[in-house]
Structures are given as structure tokens and as C-alpha cells.
Amino acid sequence: METFVLIDPLLPTGAFAHSLGLEPARIARAVGTLDETSVEASRAVETYARECAQSAIDAQLPFALAARAFAVRANEKHAREEDDDETTRAWRAANAECGALCASNAVNRRASASTGAALLRASIVAFGEERSWYLRAIKRTLRRPPPLGLGEAHHACVFGAVSAIANLDAEACARAYVYCIMRDVCSAATRLNASGPLETAAALRRCVDDAEAACAVAVADFNAATARTATSTVVDDGCTIIHHLRRAPATSALIYDVVQGAHDRARARLFNS
Amino acid sequence: MHRAFAGDPAARRACAIAALDVTRAAGTSTVTRCYAEYPVKILTPKRGIDSACDCAWAYAVNMGGGLVSGDASGATIRVDDECALAMATQGTQKVYKHDTRRWNDDVKTREGDDAWKVGETTSALYASVGQGGLLALLPDPTQVFADAVFRQTQTIDMHENGSCVCVDWITAGRIGYGNERWAFERADVRTRVTVNGEPVVVEATRLEASSRVSLNSDVSLGMRMGAANVFASLIIIGPRVRELAKSCGDWARALATRHMAHGGASWVRASADDLTQTDPQSKLFVSASDLPLPHPGVVLRFFAADTESVQDVLRSLLAPLASQLGAPPYDERGGS
């Protein structure tokens, strides 16, 4: 049931302050029209949720899976938080790559950093002192001066670390992450009156089937690209994963990503991103 | 260079095909090394460039007229301290279809992560920029034709006082040839800018046909792209282009404000047939993102219905660079 704790809106991560680009897309009329019917509206929201979730699978999910892998390795080594060991360093490198990928969309970067910090804070309290030692080690690195200090912990990397602490395997981590993306888009759609609550719930359910399959493919690709060999060390594994993070993550919802970058130019808005 | 493309042997092979060094000779930025293997050729013209400007120009030319299935192309560039280089192209980079008949046997016999990547057309560029240096990458757009499988990766490794202006754009393909729009199999385009080895901005896009398992598998890529035919990004970072970054960011934010006030992206959902290449109302949407401190810079991202709109915008935005480069970018006189 710890999976439910992770995806429950009760966990205060501030996710519902973000529309994941749906609001700017509607303001710019890239999604929805003024004279649309309710059926067309729910279909437009579903299309957007699918694009957004697939782009998250392509761009952000590899970072979540990598962060989860680093946390699992840290547990295997029984590392203690006093050690600035290779696994924490690798998490920082992954987080830096994630931040660089978000840098071309300042709105998304801001959202990722704020929800990441909130998830980190909430998870440390929710999972307790003993189990959250890895998260507390990450949090301490945020306060250090550069180049060790980060300032920003991005949501995908924090989510992966938390999923390891909640004992989620890679497939469950991927499904939980993508479900949260689709949930947040659909929730924003309802509050924006872009689609009615019942139609939105139906749209979310329709997305879930394809999301399961897409997550399975993404996890298989990640595992194949970062497979450990019998002789590889922890450092080799970390390098392999970082190399994969430099080659693979990429956004696939170009139009919505560009429009989201203009969210701050809207005259009025409900959401932070 | 080895660290930049570590774990990516295809990119390392591709960027070794050509090499260009710009160092100080006789007090000016001079091309002191210029190496290229077929199909790449590098031209270093001086006509049309203001000789009083301390900047070298180079054009990367593809002798075959484009990249075919399995081709590897690229370059390794070094811009030394206090030097400047403008790198342009002679025309659009065309990427032709992926020939599965040629590569099927390799796909069956090879195992592991790279099996599905055998035969993909690769373009890779590694550039290093020294202290006070300036690199301007000003290519023509990449046209990825139907059934192509293409991967482009660029890494610009800068000194903390280095500067770069990097344009990267991709078009829908041969729009005038039976309306062949976004008909390629896969296009993976990536630009990574690092400062002292630390990643600052990664502009990465992957567009795939609907054949693969995804949440969008019921919709073709052409339908998803709507009426957009061009995507472009403009990365401006570094102390030598601080004013340019501010002016470009201000322009983009002003245009985005107007578009957000008037539904300026509604045209993208129109049918592509409703927006012809000769449509007098050019459609373009832009957003700008300032780079996180302490790096002074901005990233502009565009999508538009036609290439000419984007070229006009780039010509206008980058005109102030003429004082540093010796010729205005994307201008007939000397630019791309």
C-alpha cells in the first residue's frame, strides 16, 4: 500500500498547483476551441494527457528510473548518510542532467524544482528517519556551496529515490510516475472547466491501458541500455546509467512544450505551470 | 572529446570525420587545422566577410547532397581562447530514407542495446570553446525525408567565459512533394551545452512515427504536428553575447505576450492543407527561457508553418552579431 501513499494527493507535494502545460495550451488555443462541444472538449483533454504522459515517459522517466537504481545500489551497499559515496554523487549528476534538460523551458524547470523539493520534504517525514536516510543525504547536498551544492532537486530524480525507499520495483515506479502525470493533467482540466469531471475520469481510464504498455517498453529499454555485467563495479554501473541519461531522454510533445514556455506571458492564470 | 561522447561509439566515429581548429595567428582568429573525410568538405571563405572583424568563417558541405541510410557525418571543432568561429552550411541537410533491405541481416545478428540502432543515420558535432571565445553555429535546417531514421547529437563544451550562439532547426520534410510531412521513422535531435564540464542546457527532441508502442500510437506524427512544419531552437549563452541574449529574450517575450493574449497558437490545429506554403499570413509561435544563474543566456524555441518565417526572424534577431562575426547571419551577403 506504500505505492498508494506515494500517489495519493494527500501527500503534500504541491502537484495540484501545476497544470503541466494544459492551461497555457488552452490560453494559446493549441488545445480546445471556443465553440467546442463537451465531447470534443474531453477528447482534446485526453489527447493532451496522452501527449504529456508520453513526453514524460520519453524525457523524465529515465531520470526517475536512474534515481531509483542509484538508491537501490545505496541500500545494497548499506551506505550510511555520512559517506559522500559514489551513489549520492551519481544522483547529483543525474539531477544536473535533468535540470539541464528542463533549462530550455523555464516554466517546466520551475515546476520540477518546486514539486521535487516538496516531495523530498514530505517523503522524509512520511517514511520516517530510519528509512529516509538517503533522502536526507540528498537534502543535505542542496545546502552545500557549489559545485557540490545543487539548489534544485528535480521531481523525477526525487520520485525515483522515494520509490526505492517505498520498495517499488522499476515497473511500479514507472507506472506510478506516469499515473501522477496523467492524474495532474486531468485534475487541472476539471478545474479549468476544460472538461467535465465524469468525462475526464473516463478519459483518464482510457489513457491508463496504453500507459501501462508504454511504461513497460520504457522500462525494458532502460534496463537493456543500463544492464549490469558480472564484472561491472558500482562506478561502472553509475557511468553506464549517466551515459544513457546523456543520450536517451528527449521531449516528444514539441508544440505543447514550446507553448508551456510562454505561460508566464499570460495575462491571467490559475496555475503555476 | 572522448569524455563528451563516452558510451556513444557511433557519435565518436561520426565527429571524427572532420576537424576544425581556430587559433590566434598574426593576431586574428585563423583556421589553423581543417580536415575532412568524404562525404564532408569544409570551406573557409574570406570574400564577403569583414576582414577587420576577428572571426573565422567555415561552411560544412556534404558532397553527396545529403545523408543516406547508415551514413555518419560530423566534426570536431576547437575554438581557442579569445578566438571566434562562425560555422554555417551551404544548404539544407537532407536525410534520406532508411534502407531496411541493406541492414536487416545486421539487425538479426547483433544483440544488445544497439541492435535497433544499426543503420540509423548519425550526425555528431563536438565543439570546445576557450576563454573569451565565441562559436556561432548557423546551419540551414535539417530536412528528414520519409522513412528516414536520423540521430543528431551536438556537444558544446565551453570555458566559463566562453560564448556560443547555436541555431538548430528541423523541417517536416518534402512538403511540396505529395505533402510528405513528418513522414520519417524517427528523428532524435540533441544539443548539449556544458560549462567547465557541467551541463547547463540540453535541448533534446525525439519525434517518432506512430508505429512504436506509445500513448500516441493511434495518431500519425503528421496529425500530431498539426500545421507546424518547422521547429527551431536558438541557444545564446556567454559574456560576449549577453546583450544579444537580452534583446532576443525581450523580443520573444513581447511576441509571446501578444500570442497568449490572442490565442496565437490556434493555427497549429488547422489542417495542413488549409495552410499552404504561399499563405501570406505566416504563422509562428515562440517562447523564451532565461538560463539559470550563474550562466547569462537565453533559449528561444519556435514552431512555425513555413521555413521562410523562421529564417526572417533569425536574420533579424542575429543581425547584431555582424559586428563580432564580420557578416550578418542568414544574410545572402556572407551568412548561411
B209-263 pLDDT, tens digit per residue, is 876 778 887 888 888 898 899 999 999 999 999 999 999 999 999 999 999 998 8
Is residue B261 included in any domain, yes or no?
no
Tell me how many domains chain A contains: 1
> In A, which residues are within 8 Å of B205 by CB distance?
250-252, 254
Which among A54, A254, A266 is the nearest to B303, CB-wise? A254
Closest Cα in chain B to A208 = B215
Is residue B218 included in any domain, yes or no?
yes
Nearest alpha carbon to residue A156 among A242, A72, A68, A64: A64
The answer to whether the CB of A50 falls within 8 A of the CB of B216 is: yes
> In B, which residues are within 8 Å of A210 by CB distance?
214-215, 217
Is residue A214 included in any domain, yes or no?
yes
Interface test with A, best of B215, B224, B231, B255 (most A CBs within 10 A): B215
The answer to whether the CB of B69 falls within 8 A of the CB of B97 is: yes
Which among A29, A50, A243 is the nearest to B266, CB-wise? A29
Q: What is the pTM of this model?
A: 0.91
Tell me, what's the pLDDT at B333? 47
CB–CB of A104 and B113 under 8 A? no
> In B, which residues are within 8 Å of A259 by CB distance?
265, 285, 287
Residue that the C-alpha cell 540528498 belongs to: A138
DSSP calls for B159-183: -TT-EEEEEEEEE-S-TTTTS--S-
The answer to whether the CB of B267 falls within 8 A of the CB of B275 is: yes
CB burial of residue B110 (10 Å; 0-12, 13-18, 19+): middle
DSSP calls for A51-107: HHHHHHHHHTHHHHHHHHHHHHHHHHHT--TT---HHHHHHHHHHHHHHHHHTTSHH
Distance from CA of A128 to the nearest CA of B (A): 33
Q: What does DSSP assign to residue A130?
A: H
Which among B6, B153, B289 is the nearest to A104, CB-wise? B289
Residue that the C-alpha cell 498539426 belongs to: B226
Tell me, what's the pLDDT at B301? 96
d(CA B314, CA A35): 36
Closest Cα in chain B to A28 = B263
Vertex B110: Cα angle to B109 and B114 (nearest 5): 155
* Interchain CB contacts (distance < 8 Å): A and B: 161
Question: B170-185 burial, b if ≥16 CB within 10 A, otherwise e?
Answer: bbbbbbeeeebbbbbb
Is residue B21 included in any domain, yes or no?
yes
Q: Which three cell numbers stand for residue A261?
A: 514556455
Closest Cα in chain A to B234 = A104
CB–CB of A255 and B225 under 8 A? yes
CB–CB of A103 and B188 under 8 A? no
> In B, which residues are within 8 Å of A246 by CB distance?
7-8, 192
Is residue B180 included in any domain, yes or no?
yes
Is residue B52 included in any domain, yes or no?
yes
Per-residue pLDDT at A157 exceeds 80? yes
CB–CB of B265 and A28 under 8 A? yes
Query: Quick check: helix, strand or coil at residue A40?
Result: helix
State which residues form the domain around B77: 9-242+306-325
CB–CB of B206 and A252 under 8 A? yes
Is residue B271 included in any domain, yes or no?
no
A50 touches chain B (CB under 8 A): yes
Q: What does DSSP assign to residue B67?
A: B
> In A, which residues are within 8 Å of B120 by CB distance?
none
Helices (H), strands (E): how many in chain B?
6, 17
Q: Name the stretches of chain B with pLDDT < 50.
A: 104-117, 277-280, 333-336
The answer to whether the CB of A67 falls within 8 A of the CB of A222 is: no
Beta strand B297-304 with B142-144 is: unpaired
Per-residue pLDDT at A94 exceeds 60? yes
Q: What does DSSP assign to residue B268?
A: G
Residue that the C-alpha cell 551551404 belongs to: B90
| Residue pLDDT, tens place only, B174-196 | 887 777 889 999 999 999 999 99
Tell me, what's the pLDDT at A144? 64
CB–CB of A250 and B153 under 8 A? no
Is residue B284 included in any domain, yes or no?
no
ipTM of the complex: 0.90
> In B, which residues are within 8 Å of A53 by CB distance?
215
Closest Cα in chain A to B264 = A28
> Residues 6 or more apart from A193 whose CB is under 8 A from it?
none
> In A, which residues are within 8 Å of B292 by CB distance?
99, 103, 109, 152
> In A, which residues are within 8 Å of B299 by CB distance?
103-104
Closest Cα in chain A to B228 = A255
CB–CB of A262 and B203 under 8 A? no
Which among A250, A251, A259 is the nearest to B287, CB-wise? A259
Closest Cα in chain B to A266 = B260
pLDDT tier for residue A133 given thresholds of 50, 70 and 90: confident
CB atoms closer than 10 angstroms to residue A36: 15
Tell me, what's the pLDDT at B29? 92
Per-residue pLDDT at A216 exceeds 60? yes
The residue with greater pLDDT, B163 or A4, is B163
Tell me how many domains chain B contains: 1
Which among B213, B225, B287 is the nearest to A217, CB-wise? B213
DSSP calls for B94-163: EE----HHHHHHHHHH--STTGGGTT-EEEEEEEEE-TT-EEEEEPPPEEE-TT-EEEEEEEEEE-TT-E
Per-residue pLDDT at A178 exceeds 90? yes
CB–CB of B153 and A247 under 8 A? yes
Interface test with B, best of A92, A247, A269 (most B CBs within 10 A): A247
CB–CB of B285 and A109 under 8 A? no
Closest Cα in chain B to A237 = B7
CB–CB of B289 and A100 under 8 A? no
Rounded-to-10 torsion of CA A151, B291, A101, B139: -160
Tell me, what's the pLDDT at A81? 57
d(CA A119, CA B128): 37
Closest Cα in chain B to A47 = B216
CB atoms closer than 10 angstroms to residue B263: 16
Mean pLDDT calculated for residue range A15-23 = 88
A180 touches chain B (CB under 8 A): no
CA end-to-end distance (rounded Å), chain A:
30
The residue with greater pLDDT, A41 or A215, is A215
Query: Quick check: helix, strand or coil at residue A14?
Result: coil
Closest Cα in chain B to A244 = B7
Tell me, what's the pLDDT at B112? 46
A208 touches chain B (CB under 8 A): no
A224 touches chain B (CB under 8 A): yes
Which among A51, A103, A251 is the nearest to B216, CB-wise? A51
Is residue B132 included in any domain, yes or no?
yes
State which residues form the domain around A225: 20-260
